[in-house]
Amino acid sequence: MIDRRPSPEDIQSGTAKDRTCPSISTTFAQALARRPTLAVSFFLVILIPIIGLLLNPFNFQNRYRLSLFSQHQDPISIQKPPEMPAQNVTKTATVIFCHGLGDTSAGWSFLAQQFGAQMPWVKWIFPDAPIQPVTINMGMKMPSWFDIVDLTPTAKEDEKGLLASVETIRSLIQKEVDAGRPTDRIIVGGFSQGATISILTGLMSPTLLAGVACLSGFLPLKDKIKQLEGPHASQLKVFWGHGTDDPVVKYDWGSQSVNFLRGDLGLSHVDFKSYQGLVHSASPQELADLLTWLNDCIPNQP
């Protein structure tokens, strides 16, 4: 179970479909039975990569650049988008964007290039999650902001890991503040696990951030968030995008999280957008909506 980020082909075509491998046909199975040598060769080809994965699963994931926690997905390689021409523009705002489970900072770095022409005044930061065991993935080590036992709203939560990652993002915010960036010009966002860390960071912030962007995430620690939230939490601006066909972080889970933000925490600036047919990924329309929202929250300053 690994998070799936959108490939450039997905972004261009607007598709984000699961890919599955066909099963061995009866004819081929019969051929293996008739030719023992072929059968041995076939099973060696299958077993050797599996043994390698068990011996060093993270290297396998890193080599194929796996991303985002969805089931039955083929490894996806992210091709580097075309370089944007260098622009001599002073950076007056910062976006910190956090990747999903099993991904790396490189997985979403295309946002800086894709949005760069429209928002050249924005500095982009893409942090990396620590590599640690993940229970839902049979304890395999991979980049993860916190441990996941199960993907349901009632599952046991890794409070220690969640709060540790919030502190990691807070330290990045503080570095920007120390360099002269006011917090009302800083946005934190992410996809899936990264979205979950981002909304928690925004709600707990002692000062009001410019906003939080959540793509296919969920709100954690609902039972404790009222004790953890900062003094300006109700004023926080939030962009929340979620696919209706998300098989991983279910659409209803995202919708319930938004209702909690609005109802229980009193947030009045939550922009919740649904994307029909979208699975656990991002679509061109969602990214276009995100760009519009970013321009509203951190517009250019002369």
Evaluate whether 172 touches 199 at the Cβ level (below 8 Å). Answer: no
Lowest mean pLDDT among 34-43, 72-81, 152-161, 289-298: 72-81
Average pLDDT over residues 228-241: 98
Query: What is d(CA 293, CA 287) in angstroms, rounded to the nearest whole number?
Result: 10
Where are the alpha helices (H) located in the chain, listed in sequence order? 8-13, 26-34, 36-55, 57-64, 110-114, 159-178, 193-204, 225-228, 251-263, 284-297
- Taking 70 as the threshold, does the pLDDT of residue 250 lie above it? yes
CA distances 124 to 107, 136, 173, 233, Å, are 13, 31, 12, 23
Angle at 165 between CA 157 and CA 93, to 5 degrees: 130
Query: What is d(CA 216, CA 242) in angstroms, rounded to the nearest whole number?
Result: 5
What percent of the chain stands above pLDDT 90? 70
CA distances 16 to 66, 216, 238, 251, 273, Å, are 15, 14, 24, 16, 17
The DSSP symbol for 233 reads: G
CA distances 115 to 6, 9, 176, Å, are 16, 17, 20
What residue ranges do the domains of the chain occupy? Answer: 1-302
| Residue 7 confidence (pLDDT) | 56
Count of Cβ atoms closer than 10 Å to residue 276 Cβ = 9
Count of Cβ atoms closer than 10 Å to residue 290 Cβ = 20
Higher pLDDT, 202 or 39: 202
Based on the residue annotation, tell me whether 280 is a catalytic residue of this protein: yes
For residues 300, 206, 231 and 270, what is the CA-based torsion angle, rounded to 10 degrees?
40
Q: What are phi and psi of 14, to 5 degrees?
A: 80, 15
- Taking 90 as the threshold, does the pLDDT of residue 75 lie above it? no
| Residue 301 confidence (pLDDT) | 85
- Strand 140-143 versus strand 131-134 pairing type: antiparallel
Lowest mean pLDDT among 44-48, 145-149, 178-182, 208-212: 44-48
Which residue from 61, 10, 22 is spatially nearest to 243, judged by alpha carbons?
Answer: 10
Query: What is d(CA 11, CA 124) in angstroms, rounded to the nearest whole number?
Result: 20
Lowest mean pLDDT among 39-43, 146-150, 237-241, 290-294: 39-43
Based on the residue annotation, tell me whether 99 is a catalytic residue of this protein: no
Average pLDDT over residues 41-65: 38
Query: What is d(CA 115, CA 284) in angstroms, rounded to the nearest whole number?
Result: 12
Active-site entry in 67, 280, 281, 283: 280
Per the prediction, the chain carries an average pLDDT of: 81
Active-site entry in 147, 165, 246, 257: 246
**Paired residues of 270 in beta bridges:** 238
Q: What is the DSSP string of 37-61?
A: HHHHHHHHHHHHHHHHHHH-HHHHH
| Residue 205 confidence (pLDDT) | 98
Active-site entry in 7, 192, 216, 283: 192
What percent of the chain stands above pLDDT 70? 71
1-302: which CATH topology?
Rossmann fold (3.40.50)
